[in-house]
Structure formats: structure tokens, C-alpha cells
Structure 1
Amino acid sequence: MLSQLGKTHSGLIAGLLALALFLAALLLMPREWRNVSRERAFDVVLAADRQIRRSNPQETASAVPVVVVDIDRRTLDSLGPWPWPRETMARLVEAVASGKPAVVGIDVLFTQVDTRSPAALARQLGSLTGNHDISALAGGLLDGDKHLAAAMKSVPVALGFVLDADKADAVPGVPVLARRPVVLDGLWRMTGGLGPVSPLVDAAKGLGALSLPGDADGRIRRVPLLVGAGEATRPGLALEAIRLFERAPAYSVDADPQRIIVGDLEVPLPGDGLLRLAGADIRKRQARTIAAADVVNNNAMHRARLAGAIVLIGGSAPELGGLRETATDPLVPSVEIQADAIQQIYARRAPQAVPLGFALTLVMGLIAVVAASALSPVLGAFVGLTALAALWSGAILASLVGDRLIDPVMPSIGGLFVFMTSSVSSYALVARREARIRSRFEQHLAPAVVKRIAENPGLLKLSGEKREITALWTDIEDFTAMTHRAGPEQLVAVLDEYIEGMAAIVMKHGGMVDKIVGDSVHAFFNAPLDLKDHPQRALDCAEEIRIWAKEFQSRNEPSHIGFGRTRIGIETGEAIVGDIGIRSKLDYTAHGDSINSAARLEALNKRYGSTICVGPFAAARCTTTLFRPLGVASLRGLDVPVEVFEPWPPEASADWRERYIAAYRMIESDKAGAALLFEGLAAECPGDPVPRMLAAELRSVLSA
């Protein structure tokens, strides 16, 4: 059963095996590889999402203004090289605060005390010299940390810390309260954190994580909402800036659905505590960014933009070390990433992955199997492309409508792999089947019929069937004597030309050349495909053979070796047709009384002098006026003798035909009179041997 299934449905089997192999490879693939592949697929979906939203005139900017004050190369040229003294940073914070922003978030890590201000230098010099008087001078000198702390007190400021696996220091922060148990089993957690120096922590209103987690390919696609620093749960810088803007005293987390609540703002909270970035339009980034030099240099227009906004201070200059690779840009300042997160949160967007990759791959694979193995190539390709279009459209729509991320890439690859495998296997099966059919029938049937069978093998039954056919049997008169007159090469050349012409005529009329046996051609009509009016088609074929064979006899080579007349027998009846033989040698042929009768009828031409001898069943299926009776004969397989016929010779006139019928009817009642009439008819048509042979047979009977 499996062997037969493989022979008939190899495309289906190959497709299912390819699908199983692909799914197994997907399950065995290292987790990091799967994650990278999935995230890059999400990148593509989100890129399409952004493009559609950008073209939507209703798409508006966030209701909360976000401004990035950028420490760029121009700023470093203006205010001094990095790292800056705390005094310079204090000047920048004071300049920003003068614009009256609602909140300031600083994407710079201040982990060490100031060492470059006059007070810091006095302390260092006093320590080195052991002179306490010099150290005491520090109290009256400019102190960078104190100056920066004083500047931070004029506006709510959120500073940053980083997670550190080598420390176990606690990171201060506001509490995260749980209304109901939430699941944060994937929370990014380390043993401790590294934060700003104490004077700055005391002056700041908030503290958030600056650390940005990279995926296996090194790209930043997420910003922490919450992180774990030791036993404590702390916010990311973006979320902490939002808390200060919302004037919330603490965070609250809740379940059903799992979310974090900041004042009146609710943000979906994944189990890993990370916000998946949807990506930002580079034009919007440029529009919200101001060079720090313009703010410090008292540019009133730029300072006016800061009023009431969430302002983030960070740097795009490479010296600050804050450039990161994201899905949209290889070099994005981390401060811009934090700003993207803030705007995304206020836009109520929190893309979340939907784990449908395996199921969609299975569905796409099954669709591909059906499309490749059960449908025509054009229709199969159309169905496959439609499924791919539906998959990608659904993934993009899920992002646009529900911020749900579905991976369309892996199911697409799986579907294409299965489709190609199944198609190649199906094509190979079809090619083998067509080659087998063509090799089996191209020498027996007309090319158009072979093509039709090859394109639709379901029309063909090779295993054996009973069907009505019309058999046509030919032979060459005095062939044995001709073989003695002709040389071997000459005989073979003439016979090849003869057989080729005969076969062409048979196939022209829709017949199948069954066998070439010496000088004989065995053919039948209405097999392997149905042929309407097959008895008439066989008769028309015989008439053309008679004319062609007579012309062939007159050619130089056949005439030189005395090529004989072609005799033909035709009969209609049921036969068993199909493949006969052994596996290495199968022959599509027919067996039945009609075949035997056609052979017997061909031989009767010797008795009657006719060229085409037609049996009673074939004659009854054709126009009766086409035939003249030849006599009554016994045919193999029939219990009683039957009347046989021949088409009228084309040169016979209507009067001559009437007198022939009259003579034939006299055979039973007056053989002598009938013989006399046939002799007269033979004298009028010396080229027609039938009346002469009938007269001679009657005289022989009378003289016996």
C-alpha cells in the first residue's frame, strides 16, 4: 500500500516529510538562533507598520512633549572635550532648568566624585601634601558635585544607574507595590547596581536604569520598564521620567491583564519587564532634538521648546560611548532610545509577541503540500502566494490594530521549502510518468493523443479493462516470395518505409498501432482512449491505406522487388486491453474475438480477391451503402457463419453495383446464373478481382 501510495502521491509524501523535517529542525534549532530569527521578522513587520502609520494623516505625535538635549560634536567643540567637569554639566542642567521643563532625565552615569573643580583639586592637593590648611580651602571654593546638585534641585531630575554583576550594592528608589501577584520570572536581574555619587542621588528626585539589553545579534530592541538590582525591583530611566512627570509617589503592578500603573497611566508589563520598541521615524527624532550648545548659549527659541516637556539629556558624540545599534539604525544614541520609549508609552503602544510561529509554520506547510501536490502548477502557485499574502497581511494588521507581533518569516520559509520540495517531487513524478507514457505510446498513437494522455493520466487505464474496440489487421500479399527476390538491406529499407507510412495513417485516424509483426500491422481503435465512431474511423483508415499502399507499390524500389498488394481485415467487438507481460517487458495490447476475427478477415481477402474485408459487426456500425457483400464465412469465436463485406470500389457505377447485388442474391437459387452474371461484371471491371473470384468459386462448386 505504501509503495503504491509513493508511486501515485510522491509529491504529497515528499511535502509531508519536508514539513516534518522543517518542524523538527525548528524545534532543535538553538534558542538564540530562533530568537534572532523571530526578532528580525518582527523588525520587518514593525517597519511595515511604521510606513503605514506614517502615511496615515490621522497619525499624530505624542500628547506629551519629549525633547532630547543632545551633547553632540558641535557642543563638545563649543563647551569643551568629554569628559566634562561637573561644572560644565551643571551649567547645562541650569540652562535646561531655565526653560521650565516638567522633568529632566539625564542619560549620563555619574559614578565617581568630581575631580576637576577647584574644591576637588584643593582636597586632592591637601591629601597629597598632608596640609590640612589646603584641604580646608575646599570649603570656600567652587565644588562641581555641589554645583550640579544645586542645579538639579531647581527641576525634578531623574538620574541613571547601571546593573552590575560584580557588586551587591543596593540601588535606592521608590517602591513597586503589587496589588495582586504578578509573574516577572524573566526579569532582567543582577546582584547589584552602580549608581551616582551620594550628593547627586540626594539632589535627584528619581533614579532609573540606563542599561539597555541587547539581543543575540547585538541590536537593542527593548527598553527596561523594570529591572532587578539585587533583591530590589527598580524602574528604567524612561519609566522613572514618566513617574516624575505624572507626579506619582510609587509604582503599582497588577494582573489580569498584567500591567504597571504610574499615576493615571497604565502600561502593559511583560514577564521580562521589557518594553519592545516599535521603532521611531528618524524625522521625528530630528524634530525633537536640540543641540546642548544651543541651550547653554541662551538660545531663547530652543529654550522655549523645553517648557512643560520631558527633557532627556544625553549624547550623540562618540566620545560619550552611548551609541547603540537598533533595528532601524546602526548608530542611535541611547538617550534617543529612552526618548522613543517615553513617546511610545504615552502613545499607548506596547508590542507583544504572540507565540504562533510553530502553528503557523504547520498550517503554511500543509497549505503548501496541498497546493503543490493536488493542484495544477499555476493554481498551486496562486494558492501558495495567496496564503503568503494573507500571512503577511495578517501579521501587519495584528501589529497595526492590536500591537501583537506575529512572525511571518519562519512560516513563509517553511511553506516555501515544503512547496518547493513537494513541487519538485510532483514534477519528477509527472516527468517520469509522462516519459513512461510517451515511451509506451509515442510509437503507437498520434502525438496529440500521447500529449493528452501525458497531461491527464487519469484518462488511461493500464491495469486492464474490457471495452469495445475495432481491430484492423493488415498483411502483404506474397510477402514470402518477395523476400527471396530482394536483398536483405533492400528489403529492410522498403519495409521500414512501408511500415512508417502505414503507422502514420493509423495514428492520423486516431488508431493505435499495437504490433508490427513482420510485414503485418496490428492496430485497434477506441483504446486506450475513447474514440467516437471508431468503426467508421477504422474503415476510413483502411480506405486511405488501400490508396496509399497501391501508390507505394508503384514506387521504384518496391516495384523493383515486386512489392505485393496490402490486404486488410476489420472487425468490431469487445476485448480485454491493458498491460500484458512481465515488469521488465510490458506491452499495452488487446485480446479478444474481434482481434482474431480481424486476422481471419484479412486472410479471407485471398479467397475473395478483395482488399478490405469487413466483419458484420463493424459493417453494421457504418453506413451500409458503403459495402458490397463478399460471401458467408466462418470466423473464429463465432458459432455460425457470418456474412462479410468490402467497401465498394470507387470506380463502380450505380448500375454495375445493382447488377452485382442481383448476382449475389442469385447464388443460393441459381449458382450457374450467378456465375454468369459475375463473369460479365468482371469483364466490365477487369481491375476488380472480386467478381472474377466469386464466379470461379461458383464454377468450382458446380463442377464438383
Structure 2
Amino acid sequence: MMGRRLRRFWNLTRRHLGGIGAAVLTVGLVYSGSVEWLELRSLDKRFELRPRRAPSAPIVIVSIDEASVRELNEPWPFPRRLHGQLIDRISAWKPLVIGFDVIFPEPSSRGRKDDEVLGAAVARAGNVVLAASCIKEMQALTDIQIGYVVVDCNLPILEVGRGAVAAAPVDLYQDADSHVRRAPLNVLVGDKMEPGFDHQIYRQAVAAGLPAKALPDADTILVNFRGGRDSFPSIPYYRIVKGEVTPEEFPGELTGKIVLIGSTTQAEHDVFPTVFSGGVGMSGVEIHANVLETLIRGDPIREVPRTVSTALALIAALAGSGLVVRFRALRALVVTALVWVVVAGLSYAIFATADVWLRDAAFTVGLMLGYGSTATEHFIRTQRERRRMSLFFSQEVVRTLMRERDEGSLTSSRRVVTVLFSDIRDFTSLSEKLAPEQVNEMVLDYLTEMTEIVEKNGGVVDKYIGDCVMALYNAPLPNADHAANAVRTGLELQERVLSVSAKWHAKIGVPIRCGVGINTGEAVVGFLGSRKRPAYTAIGDAVNLAARLEPLTKDHGASIIISEYTHELVQGRFPTRPLGEVTVKGKLLPVKIYGVVPASVRQHTRVALDAAAMLTTIGDGQSWRARTADISEGGLALTGLPPDWDVGRKIQIRLDGGGLSRQVYAQGTIVSRRGDAAGVQFTTVEGDSKPAIADCVARGRETALDDDQ
């Protein structure tokens, strides 16, 4: 009992080994960081697909652009006195806070006075946050993420920075692909957490009365970018410095706003790829604007816990594998694609509507690995099974089984089948007359012909036993007319053996005859045998009886014998004659048997005829005198033939007397033998002889024969 349970468990597990392996591999890829770049690109794609959002926070950028460099006719870096003028002019609008995204770690090359002018303007404004340049070291933030830890900061020189409300690290975090997606709220400087540049600006703005959401309880956020470049309103640096934009003319331009000053030129180094890059970087000051917008609105991108996305990837790997097990590979591919579309659609929907990032790249990888590994394993196993089944079934049956099979359909089971046995009569004595090579050639020729007929009639060759063929009907595929198909096979076998016999008779002077035994009943059918060498076959009493019937054909003068069980299913569809009851080895009760008469012999009306027959064999010219027992337009029955004139022998016939209106000349083939009697089928009747036969039949009477010719 325990062994069977273990085998069932192993069989179930074996079918999902690909999915289990894919699941383990997927988890390994997730925790090794190998799919992180896919996750990040997936996040970028969400931003690209999501409609752009107009900024709502009061943020304005004063851009140090190419036009400002050109209009002011000053090389970069600008004189610090210009920065002082800028701050004074901006302060006239009474902004909430001014964030200066330019670092001043060293004295001005234009002298101390240049620094003091800027420092005085910063002090007069009273709401300026300056940028600090930091020295960073790359360290592991989590098991799979790399981040930066600040070990030292270069603050603005004292002449510039003493009047600022704050000086904070302005550096941005870049992922492994150099894209900026996250922003630090607090920065670890040495062993102390310090507010970052955006955090300080947020604090000052809120302190100045700006309504804003509370800061998230985190040191780093995923920035909810509003769009690409130029998403925020901006004023060129030079226009304010030159007085082209003034509080008097544009009173609401900067009043009550967060003003960010920084370079927007692509020529500077303060440009970074972001989720909206598209090959063009975004200036640092614009990134800070997006960070502040995110903080003020309180809508940073929230990440679903990594354990959830990992669990989904695990499920995806098992699901991808399970779909292949449940469906065919192509249908499973379609279902897998639909599953991916649904999950990807839901993932995008919660991102677009709720600003939630569900990492689904690992899900995609898991789904692909689960499907791909199991589909590959399934393909290899299917090809192996196809090759194995090709040893037993025709290609048409194999294709049908592979198309329609479900798992376990080819395991052994009890079912009603019709079993056919056929072998060459007197094969042992025949083999003694031939060389081994001739025997092999003859058997190969015979079995090839027989196999073709079996498969043509919906049967499968179970096995070859020397010169014997065992065939099954109604297995492995259902066949409602299995008994009739088996009988039809037997009849066609007898017809085909005539041509095979003629060939070998002409070649070596030895004819071939065969007997066929057919029985219908329950048997255990499937792949049976040892575990190392299973074979598709049938076993049971029904098989044994069919095997016992075939040798009886010689004793009863019948080429095809069927059991009473087969006869019940084909009665009235084929000409048969009762042969009585027999008790075969292994059976306690006798079994009724029937001979099947070839339809080609029974299709003509036959009448009794006792006439002299002069016979000459075609080929070796042997002559023999015999008598006729009956005649029809299709053949005749003879008595008194020599025992070595076997089925398949071709003869010339001359009939005389017995009421014939004239001598009859014909050629024919012996189609059955019983004792010294034989049934002959005409192959050629000379023209003048046909009316004589027709006249004899018309005047005669129908005779019921007890042989099967």
C-alpha cells in the first residue's frame, strides 16, 4: 500500500519537476538580483504608458540654460555676484523657499568680494537652502540592492553659506543602470542621519505655510515622476537677472512658490537618465522638482513587499508548468499568454490608479521558465513515447494517440478486444526445404503484407512470434466495429496470401498457406512486462482462445475460424458455416466455432456437377485427373487432388461430360483445401466456355457445400 502511494506521489511529482525546478531557479534569480534590471525597466515602462500628470505643487524652476549663458555673455561658472543679484530679485516676490542646486565648495576665482556678495544676498533672503557636495561610498542597502552611504560632505564655503537656512547633500541616488528613480530624504553622514536637499526644502516650505502631506516614514522614496523634461514651469536665469521678469509686471510668477535654481543645459554634468529619459537625460534640478512634488502631494510610488512579488513568481513558475501538464503545449502557450496579459494588466492598473508598484518581471520570468522547462521536458518525453509507440502502432494510430491521449490513457486496463492470430501453415517443414536467408526473406515478405492489412482495418500488430502475427482490435483506440474489422482482415489476408504464395511458388516451387483464428472477449490491455522492457500487449483468456483457434483451421479445412463470441457480433455480415464444438487446452467448457467463407466464392450460384477434370499446373506442367463436385460462374469444387497441390497453386482446367454442353477450358487458383478436395477460383475462362458454364448453372440446382471454397 505504502509503495503504491509513493509511486503515485512520484508520478504526480515527476510531471511537475520542470515547474518545481523553474520555481527554485526563479527564486534564486530574484534574490541574486539577476532580474532586478528587468523589474526596473518594467517600472520605467509603466511610467511611459501612464498619462502624464500636470504638477500641482507651487514649484518654479529658474533654469541656467544655454540662452542664459549666451545672453549674459558670461562663461560657466557664472560670477557669484550674478547669483546674488538673482536671489535679491527672486526674494522681491516673497517665495516660500529658494533651493539653490549649485555647489560652492571653494572660494570664487574672482576674489573674496564675489563670495561675499552672494553670501549677503543669501542672508538677506533668509529662506535659501544651499546644496552640499558629498563623498559617497557604494554599499549594500539590502540583499539585492546597492546604494550610497555618505562618508563626508563638502559644505558651501563660510562666506556663502553662513546666511543659508540649511545646506544639505544634493546628490541623487542612481540604480545599477545609472537611472534615477529614488531620492534620499535622509542621508547617512558618517554615523548620523541628516536631512537631504529636498527634505530641507520641504521643511522650509511647510514652515512658511505650505499645506503638504506628511513625510513618509522612510529614508528613501520612489519618485512619482510627473513627466519628462520641461514638465514644470520655468523662467530662464538671465530674464530675472536682466529684469525682464519683475514682481511688478508678473506679481504672481514666484510669490508663494518654491523656487529651484539649477542648470538645465545638457552640456553640464548635472544630467541623469530617468524613467522618462527616452535617450535624453533630465537635469538634476528638474528631478528635485519631481521629488518635491511627490513629497508635497504625499504620493510616492509604493512598493508591494518583495516577499509578495517573489511568492507570485513562485506561483507563476508552478502555474506555467501546470498549464503544460493540463493542456497541450500550444493551448498551454495561449493560456499562459492570457495569464500574463491579465497579471500585467492588473499590475499596470494598480500602478496607474493607486501608485503601487507590483514587481511583475519576476512573475514573467517564472511563468516563462515554468512553461518553457515543462514544455521542453514534455516534448522530450513525448518524442520518447512516440518512438516507443511507433514500435507497436502505425503512424496514424500514433498521431491519434498523441493528439487525443490524456495522462495514463496507455496504462493497462480491462477492455473487450478482438484478437487475431495468423501464421504460415507447415512452417517448420517449409523451413527445412529452404536456406535460412530464404526463410528470412519469405517471412519478412509475408509479415510486411499482413501488417499492412491489419493496420488498414484499424488493428494494431501486438507482436510477431516467428511467422505468426498477433493483432488487436479495439485497442489502444476505441473501435466499435472491432469484430467485423478483424474478420475483414482475415479475409483480406487470405486474398493477399494468394499473391505472396504465387510469388514464392514461382521463385522456389514452394507455395504459402496461412490460417487465421479470431476471438472476442475481455482482456487486460496496455504496456505490460518488466519495468525495464514494457511492451504493449493483451493478456487473458480471450487471447489464449484466439491462439488455440488458429491451429484448428488445418483440421477443419477452413482458412479462417472464429469463436462463437465473435460470431455473435458479425452474424449475417459475413458468410459463415458452423464447424461444431471444440474443447481447447485451458478451457473446461467446449466452444462453438465457425468457418468464414470468402465472399468472392459465395457470390455466384453453384450447382452440383460430376464431370471429368484434366488439370495441369502452370509453371511445372504437372498433370492430374480429378472430378468436379460443383461449379459456378466464379469457380468450382474438385475432388481427388494430390496432397501437395497447396492453396495458391495456379492450374489449367479442362472439363468434359457431366451434362456440360461442350468442353470447358479455364485457368484458376486453388483457394482452399480439405483432404483431397479443393476449391478453385476461376481467373480466366475461354470465351466459348462461358456459355457452357452458364447453361449448366441454369439447368442445375444450387448445392450447399460443407467446405469454405
**Matched letter for residue 212 of structure 1:** L
Alignment of 1:302-313 (within 5 A): 304=250, 306-308=253-255, 309-313=257-261
Q: 403-412 vs 603-612, which deviates more?
A: 603-612
Structure 1 residue runs of 5 or longer lacking an equivalent are 121-142, 167-185, 249-261, 661-678, 697-704
Alignment of 1:361-440 (within 5 A): 361-439=313-391
Structure 1's 372 and 588: CA in aligned 2 closer, same or farther, altered over 3 A? closer
Deviation at 1:87?
2.0
Which residue in the other structure is 1:613 paired with? 561
Q: 570-579 vs 493-502, which deviates more?
A: 570-579
Q: Take 2:313 and 2:598, find their aligned partners in 1: how far apart are those partners?
A: 73
Which residue in the other structure is 2:682 paired with? none
**Matched letter for residue 400 of structure 1:** A
**Matched letter for residue 195 of structure 1:** L
Q: What is the aligned counterpart of 1:144 among 89, 114, 127?
A: 114
**Matched letter for residue 347 of structure 2:** A
Which residue in the other structure is 1:159 paired with? 129
Structure 1's 513 and 276: CA in aligned 2 closer, same or farther, altered over 3 A? closer
Which residue in the other structure is 1:344 paired with? 294
Q: Normalising by the residue count of structure 1, what TM-score does the alignment of the two structures yield?
A: 0.74
Deviation at 1:219?
3.9
Deviation at 1:207?
4.5
Deviation at 1:584?
5.0
Which residue in the other structure is 1:296 paired with? 241
Which residue in the other structure is 2:51 paired with? 53
Contact 1:243 1:263 in 2 (8 A): no
Q: Take 1:384 and 1:211, find their aligned partners in 2: how far apart are those partners?
A: 43
Alpha-carbon displacement from aligned partner over 1:437-474 (angstroms, at most 9, x marks no partner): 223x13xxx33223233445558776654443333222
Q: Take 2:199 and 2:374, find their aligned partners in 1: how far apart are those partners?
A: 51
Structure 1's 83 and 321: CA in aligned 2 closer, same or farther, altered over 3 A? same
Contact 2:63 2:264 in 1 (8 A): no
Which residue in the other structure is 2:184 paired with? 224
Structure 1's 83 and 556: CA in aligned 2 closer, same or farther, altered over 3 A? same
Which residue in the other structure is 1:276 paired with? 222
Structure 1's 452 and 81: CA in aligned 2 closer, same or farther, altered over 3 A? same
Query: Residue 509 in 1 paired to residue 457 in 2?
Result: yes
Which residue in the other structure is 1:83 paired with? 77
Alignment of 1:476-495 (within 5 A): 476-480=424-428, 482-483=430-431, 486=434, 488-495=436-443
Q: Take 2:272 and 2:408, find their aligned partners in 1: how far apart are those partners?
A: 67
Q: For residue 107 of structure 1, give the secondary structure of its aligned residue in structure 2.
A: strand
Q: Take 2:125 and 2:568, find their aligned partners in 1: how far apart are those partners?
A: 113
Q: For residue 83 of structure 1, give the secondary structure of its aligned residue in structure 2.
A: coil
Q: Take 1:412 and 1:588, find their aligned partners in 2: how far apart are those partners?
A: 41
Alignment of 1:316-335 (within 5 A): 316=264, 321-329=269-277, 331-335=281-285
Structure 1's 351 and 615: CA in aligned 2 closer, same or farther, altered over 3 A? closer
Which residue in the other structure is 1:68 paired with? 62
Structure 1's 267 and 284: CA in aligned 2 closer, same or farther, altered over 3 A? farther
Q: For residue 571 of structure 1, give the secondary structure of its aligned residue in structure 2.
A: strand
Q: 383-392 vs 399-408, which deviates more?
A: 383-392
Q: What is the aligned counterpart of 1:110 among 85, 90, 104?
A: 104
Alpha-carbon displacement from aligned partner over 1:112-135 (angstroms, at most 9, x marks no partner): 555625xx4xxxxxxxxxxxxxxx
Percent identity, aligned pairs only? 23
Structure 2 residue runs of 5 or longer lacking an equivalent are 137-145, 610-626, 640-671, 679-709
Q: What is the aligned counterpart of 1:267 among 187, 204, 214?
A: 214
Deviation at 1:505?
0.7
Query: Residue 623 in 1 paired to residue 617 in 2?
Result: no
Q: Take 1:549 and 1:460, find their aligned partners in 2: how far apart are those partners?
A: 38
Alpha-carbon displacement from aligned partner over 1:2-50 (angstroms, at most 9, x marks no partner): 66755665340232133124324544x3xxx47xx54762453244234
Q: For residue 103 of structure 2, give the secondary structure of its aligned residue in structure 1.
A: coil
Q: Take 2:147 and 2:440, find their aligned partners in 1: how far apart are those partners?
A: 91
**Matched letter for residue 118 of structure 2:** L
Structure 1's 531 and 93: CA in aligned 2 closer, same or farther, altered over 3 A? same
**Matched letter for residue 24 of structure 2:** A
Q: 449-458 vs 534-543, which deviates more?
A: 449-458
Bigger helix fraction = 1
Query: Residue 451 in 1 paired to residue 399 in 2?
Result: yes
Contact 1:145 1:199 in 2 (8 A): yes
Q: Take 2:188 and 2:272, find their aligned partners in 1: how far apart are those partners?
A: 22
Q: What is the aligned counterpart of 1:195 among 151, 155, 158?
A: 155
Q: Take 2:135 and 2:410, find their aligned partners in 1: how far apart are those partners?
A: 76
Query: Residue 563 in 1 paired to residue 500 in 2?
Result: no
Q: Take 1:39 and 1:268, find their aligned partners in 2: how far apart are those partners?
A: 28
Structure 1's 425 and 263: CA in aligned 2 closer, same or farther, altered over 3 A? same
Which residue in the other structure is 1:474 paired with? 422
Q: Take 2:190 and 2:463, find their aligned partners in 1: how far apart are those partners?
A: 92
Q: Take 1:688 and 1:74, find their aligned partners in 2: how far apart are those partners?
A: 124
Structure 1's 688 and 46: CA in aligned 2 closer, same or farther, altered over 3 A? farther
Q: Take 2:386 and 2:175, find their aligned partners in 1: how far apart are those partners?
A: 52
Q: For residue 362 of structure 1, give the secondary structure of its aligned residue in structure 2.
A: helix
Contact 1:453 1:459 in 2 (8 A): no
Q: What is the aligned counterpart of 1:237 among 180, 197, 202?
A: 197
Contact 1:159 1:206 in 2 (8 A): yes
Q: CA RMSD in A?
A: 4.1
Contact 1:513 1:521 in 2 (8 A): yes
Deviation at 1:405?
2.1
Q: Take 2:44 and 2:409, find their aligned partners in 1: how far apart are those partners?
A: 55
Alpha-carbon displacement from aligned partner over 1:634-658 (angstroms, at most 9, x marks no partner): 433444555432234533478759x
**Matched letter for residue 300 of structure 2:** A
Contact 2:126 2:164 in 1 (8 A): yes
Q: Take 2:530 and 2:291, find their aligned partners in 1: how far apart are those partners?
A: 76
**Matched letter for residue 162 of structure 1:** A
Which residue in the other structure is 2:487 paired with? 539
**Matched letter for residue 360 of structure 1:** L
Q: For residue 636 of structure 2, give the secondary structure of its aligned residue in structure 1.
A: coil
Bigger strand fraction = 2
Structure 1's 433 and 149: CA in aligned 2 closer, same or farther, altered over 3 A? same
Structure 1's 680 and 600: CA in aligned 2 closer, same or farther, altered over 3 A? farther
Which residue in the other structure is 1:601 paired with? 549
Q: Take 2:120 and 2:595, find their aligned partners in 1: how far apart are those partners?
A: 126
Q: For residue 570 of structure 2, give the secondary structure of its aligned residue in structure 1.
A: coil
Q: For residue 213 of structure 2, give the secondary structure of its aligned residue in structure 1.
A: strand
Alpha-carbon displacement from aligned partner over 1:470-509 (angstroms, at most 9, x marks no partner): 3322233454554455555444434322221111111211
Query: Residue 553 in 1 paired to residue 501 in 2?
Result: yes
Deviation at 1:92?
3.2
Structure 1's 518 and 65: CA in aligned 2 closer, same or farther, altered over 3 A? closer
Structure 1's 239 and 72: CA in aligned 2 closer, same or farther, altered over 3 A? farther
Q: For residue 81 of structure 1, give the secondary structure of its aligned residue in structure 2.
A: coil
**Matched letter for residue 101 of structure 2:** D
Q: Normalising by the residue count of structure 2, what TM-score does the alignment of the two structures yield?
A: 0.73
Q: Take 2:406 and 2:221, find their aligned partners in 1: how far apart are those partners?
A: 58
Q: Take 1:228 and 1:221, find their aligned partners in 2: how far apart are those partners?
A: 19
Contact 1:187 1:228 in 2 (8 A): no
Structure 1's 459 and 542: CA in aligned 2 closer, same or farther, altered over 3 A? farther
Q: Take 1:220 and 1:282, find their aligned partners in 2: how far apart are those partners?
A: 12
Alpha-carbon displacement from aligned partner over 1:359-394 (angstroms, at most 9, x marks no partner): 222222222232233332123223322332233323
